[in-house]
Structure 1
Amino acid sequence: MNRGAFYGVIASLLWLRLHFPIWLILLILLAIYAVMGGYSYLSVIVRTTKRDVTGLTRYLQVLLRVRSYQKKNWTVPMVFETHVKKHPNKIAFVFEGREWTFKEIDEFSNKIAHVFEEAGFQPGETVALLLDNRPEYVAIWLGLAKAGLVTALINHNLRDKPLLHCIQIADCKGVIFGADFCDAFTGVRDQLDSSIKQYAFDFKNNVSIPASSINLDMKMEEASPGRLSGPQRANYGDKMLYIYTSGTTGLPKAAVIRHSRYIFATFGGFYACGLNKKDTIYVPMPLYHMSGGCMGAGMTLLFGCTAVMRKKFSVTNFWSDCTKHGCTVAQYIGETCRYLLAAPPRPEDKSHSVRLMFGNGLRPQIWEEFVDRFSSSTRKLLIAEFYGATEGNANIINFDGRVGAVGFVSMIAPSIYPVALIKVTEDTGEPIRGEDGLCIRCKPGEPGMFVGMILRNHPIRDFHGYADPNATKKKVAVDVFKRGDAAFLSGDILEMDELGYLFFKDRTGDTFRWRGENVSTSEVEAVISNVAALKDCCVYGVEVPGAEGRAGMAAILDPERTLDLKVLATGMSKVLPSYARPLFVRLVKVIDLTGTYKLRKVDYQKEGFDVDKIKDEVYFFDATSQSYVLFTSALYEQLKSGKIRV
């Protein structure tokens, strides 16, 4: 007999046979429960009820709104157009001294829709966008969405093979590239299918536009600012964007973002964080990421908020921008918080109007110091830390300021939001299964992989995967807690405390995060191998004192010490963005392999870069000389003490 049935029998006897009053029956049941070890659970209920009720209320707000849009078959452009009608002259975006109204963004996007529809693009086809942060970035993909097209949001730091891969994996029929990225695009365009249409944007004159490219600015001058006539070109459940994630398989994966997913993610952030439509939001994050492109710009498109954009994050201008524009909400990632905290104090630290900062990656070690530093004497800065993969269905948020937590799961009613932690192997991240063949849930205090149960066609619980079906398959586990069920595998290790708060611990597989970007180790390994005459190597992330994320470290097989580190540094700089280049290089005589001939990284990662323990030579990338220098015990102590910053 389970515990619930036991209490039911006791209650029935007391009521039917002994005719005890209800208040006394409840008191007796409570006493029995406490005697049988339920006191700790009662304590959890008392301590988490307010949090859970608040979370449930906000979750229901999101669910009801999302279901409403699903029934109406509303898309992102359709929701945006309701705000254009309400306040056409309200400021939508502020950027580099210019204010863009909702009407201006609407007309700009309408012109884009006309240009591409008249060019013969069909609903469902994909166009790549290679451009930096600016209001036009959002207006371009919004216009493409109005025409029923899908936009592949390319990371503008990519070059050569990764850039080519991103365009090809999404099966792009066209590419829009900005003037600042002309060289990057022309470096790969000869390898693209000749049928792909090329659109040059923001070029000052025709002379600088590459041959066979179309001047998008001129086309837009000729296009109508009015909306497309006829039926809507897309549906609520159709694809709208591809947002790229490194994942664990090597080159970036194109995560499918449907109109439904974008609406849910934005609504979830808005309601869970406690935003309101009068907020002005500071968005210095890249618009090709989910954080900036959805959680930031989405507040403007779907809720009518004003967003202040910046081309690139700046420590010097962060708080001054917020003060100048009266921002009440700001975005962050862990690295930006560390940079802001490391900057010299200034009056703007406390004179701003920001009441809330939301994002992900704020380290527990600096959380309280950050809040104290940037809170005013009359207003405490609230941190809303969220967690969720770009493509995933497992999203959580810590909205009550619990230091270090990335979210929570209700201990009272965990089934309301079906996410869980499961046990996985340390080296491969594969789920560990019990004798019944099902996955094993983690208990409080046990680290495990965070998973979200998949429910097909559900507006929140569905998983839409990637452009590559094989990549999608690898992120789904079946027969998780019962036969026939399925779950999205986040690839991240979290840990839950006794109150249900979840804390990020690590990433599994072949990905780590550095300077706010996901780094694919297999991609870096391939580059190093090519530059270093096909030498075996393995790349992994290592923790650096005082820094968020993990810095890259490469163990390279070089028993004869023939590797030219200058050539290695130069070769990597031509192909890899700065955040992906290893900060440390370890020259080893033997590369450890598993029984299946896979590179064993766990031991290397545990040893890190402690030269007092490692017998191999370790080299450190010196930013001043742009070269690798021998990493000595003296440099190791300077790095630990903070004298050397990375």
Structure 2
Amino acid sequence: MATSKMVKVGAAAGAAYLGWKYLDENHAVGADIELARRLTTMRTEIAGHHKNGYNCTKMWYTTLKKNPKKTMLLYLDEKVTYKQVEERSNQVANWLLSKGLKRGDTVALLMENRPEFIISWLGMTKIGVKVALINTALVKKPLLHCVKISSCSMLFFGTELASSVGEVMPEIEELGIMVFGNGRDACDFCPVADEELAAAAVTRVSSKLTEGIGMSDVFGYIYTSGTTGLPKAAVILHQKMFAFGALMANGFQVKESDVVYTCLPLFHSAGGGLGVNVTIYTGCTMVIKKKFSASEFWKDCVKYKVTVAQYIGELCRYLILNAPTPEERQHRVRIVIGNGMRPEIWGEFQSRFNIPEVGEFYGATEGNGALINHCTTPDAQGACGRLGTLLRKVMGVKLVKFDVVEEEIVRDPKTGFAIECGPNEPGELLFPIKPDDPSTAFAGYEDPAATAKKIAKDIAVKGDQFFRTGDLLSRDEKSFFHFVDRIGDTFRWHGENCSTTEVTEVMAPFPGVQEINVYGVQIPNNLDGRCPMAAITPTGGDINALDFDGLAKHAQANLPKYAVPIFLRIQPEIAVTATMKHQKVALKKEGMDIAQVTDPLYWLNPDSKTYEPFTPEAYQRVINQQARL
């Protein structure tokens, strides 16, 4: 009898195990439970902070109390403690008050990576001033546009960028904006605030200045390119800045004892959002690098005893292309965290550099949701996130069919609702906007029309709303999500979003350009994204009407480096749709392949920095990665 009972118990246990194994393998139940465990803390914190008026300043003071003497920032050979950041940011706050800045005003911050960047925006938040984080690569019209749409009272910039600011200074003065520099570089067109800042009081400003500012209030703006052409100002709430840090800490287990290496721009959501705020959230140490250097990356990791390093996909590829060094395996890095790690190099990256874990995530600066993939096993390599059946149901995340030609969500003709994708079927990723859940809020942009375009309605039921990511992803049989492509005109190159409209607006007025169609193309053997290319119809169809050298100089002087078209295709006329939209599908498919394109092709030779005929020899240089694009 006992034996029979044991057999039944064993059989039941075996059946339970097999059932669990089936659910785990086919529905990712185990992964869902672990992810839910990690993110529940963050969601609970956000919900609680909405009730008690929490904001970025309070997050700072919560951490400051832990260990004020601890080093917060490492930059070159400079060490800045939490207490020193407190005092120096107080000086910024008191100085701004002396200049008449008040709660609700905006300051545009334009500065390269250095401690003063973080200290400056922290000081601004202490008096309730909103911060517009300006891309340091912008010049002329795009730079002026970003300053203008922020409605800022002051532009505070690093004097290392004085030449860029100087070019638009007359227009900024006409807007009545105060302008102050900070830094050691020469600047002869506006006051440099260093002496005044050094003399300002280090005492903490009154907490009444931020009283009532909560998670749903605006922290500031981070700029993102879109189909409107010029950069859009994405509204960043205090909740978003808190969530940046909480996601890194809870999603990827970053702790107070970690040293985080950031060589990504601090004006972006990766470096300035995730990197800075996980430092403030946990109380860890942050290493600031002015800019990425493949030859110095691992040396820095060894020097500063880095345990967590941030990346974007292209950064990883550059590291792999770099010659081996002893430091690449002598470091203490236990996890790299970022987005865009290419599946083709993922395994090699972890193996060559001895990286146990990868924290890959998917998300948009202005978005209301994210996917994460804490990769600790080979089967997780190549994915940007994982959501099993359970979490997809609970969170309401949708992957819906998308017509790439008409550029619209495919809907069921009977119900009018979106059609969800099956396994391995590309579709647009949508995150729900739930009125009763503040963690799903979408703050949008300063432009209401741009905000409206990012919201999809009546997706699953009448009246629902979803944030449109503008990206195509697919989900495999194990519930791993994989990035496929960006929707529409915006594409990624060198880790930056390139707007075809912005490029068009700069190049179309150039003499000899009758019409221009800008798009992104894939270069064989190149993993940097899609390269900027333009199809141009010269005035009267005469190629001699184009001054290629002048066009190259014009583009490089007026566009960020990553947005300058590398290839030109000269066409007698630009093909358009019935609705007068430029046709890009065929152009993208043919790309810069000289075997497929019969039109004359030109390229921006990196040696001469001008447009020259794209010869078979030049084509081989490009696809063999012998030309640095």
Q: TM-score, normalised by structure 2?
A: 0.93
Equivalent position of 2:484 in the other structure? 505
Mean Cα deviation higher: 531-540 or 615-624: 531-540
Q: Which amino acid aligns with 2:393?
A: S
Percent identity over the alignment? 37
| Displacement after TM superposition at 1:645 (Å) | 4.2
Mean Cα deviation higher: 466-475 or 394-403: 394-403
Taking the TM superposition and a 5 Å limit, the aligned residue runs for 1:132-531 are 132-192=112-172, 193-203=174-184, 208-210=187-189, 213-233=190-210, 234-375=213-354, 380-401=355-376, 402-435=380-413, 436-456=415-435, 458-531=437-510
SS at 1:315's partner residue? coil
Q: Distance in 2 between matches of 1:532 and 1:440?
A: 47
Deviations along 1:538-560, whole A, 9 cap, x unmatched? 11111122322111111111321
| Displacement after TM superposition at 1:230 (Å) | 4.6
Q: Does the 8 Å contact 2:260/2:286 carry over to 1?
A: yes
Q: Which amino acid aligns with 1:186?
A: G
Match of 2:66 among 86, 102, 107: 86
Deviations along 1:329-362, whole A, 9 cap, x unmatched? 1001011101000000010111100010000111
Matched, 1:568 2:551: yes
Unaligned runs of 5+ in 1: 1-22
Q: Which amino acid aligns with 1:560?
A: D
Q: Distance in 2 between matches of 1:618 and 1:129?
A: 40
Distance 1:173 1:184, change over 3 A: same
| Displacement after TM superposition at 1:586 (Å) | 0.6
Match of 2:615 among 632, 636, 646: 632
SS at 2:153's partner residue? strand
Q: Does the 8 Å contact 1:282/1:309 carry over to 2?
A: yes
Match of 1:549 among 519, 529, 541: 529
Q: Distance in 2 between matches of 1:319 and 1:260?
A: 34
Equivalent position of 1:20 in the other structure? none
Q: Distance in 1 between matches of 2:104 and 2:436?
A: 19
| Displacement after TM superposition at 1:189 (Å) | 2.6
Matched, 1:596 2:572: no
Q: Distance in 1 between matches of 2:345 and 2:244?
A: 27
Equivalent position of 2:5 in the other structure? none
Q: Distance in 2 between matches of 1:635 and 1:181?
A: 35
Match of 1:112 among 86, 92, 98: 92
Equivalent pairs counted in the alignment come to 607
SS at 1:502's partner residue? strand
| Displacement after TM superposition at 1:525 (Å) | 1.1
Q: Distance in 2 between matches of 1:254 and 1:370?
A: 35
Equivalent position of 2:52 in the other structure? 72
Q: TM-score, normalised by structure 1?
A: 0.90
Q: Which amino acid aligns with 1:90?
A: K
Q: Which amino acid aligns with 1:200?
A: G
Q: Which amino acid aligns with 1:164?
A: L
Distance 1:257 1:618, change over 3 A: same
Q: Distance in 2 between matches of 1:194 and 1:589?
A: 43
Deviations along 1:427-485, whole A, 9 cap, x unmatched? 35321222222211111111011111102363321100011111111111111111111
SS at 1:198's partner residue? strand
Q: Distance in 2 between matches of 1:121 and 1:314?
A: 38
Q: Distance in 1 between matches of 2:194 and 2:43?
A: 40
Deviations along 1:74-125, whole A, 9 cap, x unmatched? 1112111122222111000000110000011111111111122232222122
Q: Does the 8 Å contact 1:246/1:252 carry over to 2?
A: yes
Unaligned runs of 5+ in 2: 1-7
Deviations along 1:59-82, whole A, 9 cap, x unmatched? 102112222322221111211112
Q: Distance in 1 between matches of 2:93 and 2:279?
A: 20
Q: Distance in 1 between matches of 2:621 and 2:512?
A: 33
Matched, 1:55 2:32: no
Q: Does the 8 Å contact 1:70/1:236 carry over to 2?
A: yes
Distance 1:239 1:640, change over 3 A: same
How large is the Cα RMSD of the aligned pairs? 2.1
SS at 2:492's partner residue? strand
Q: Does the 8 Å contact 1:510/1:520 carry over to 2?
A: yes
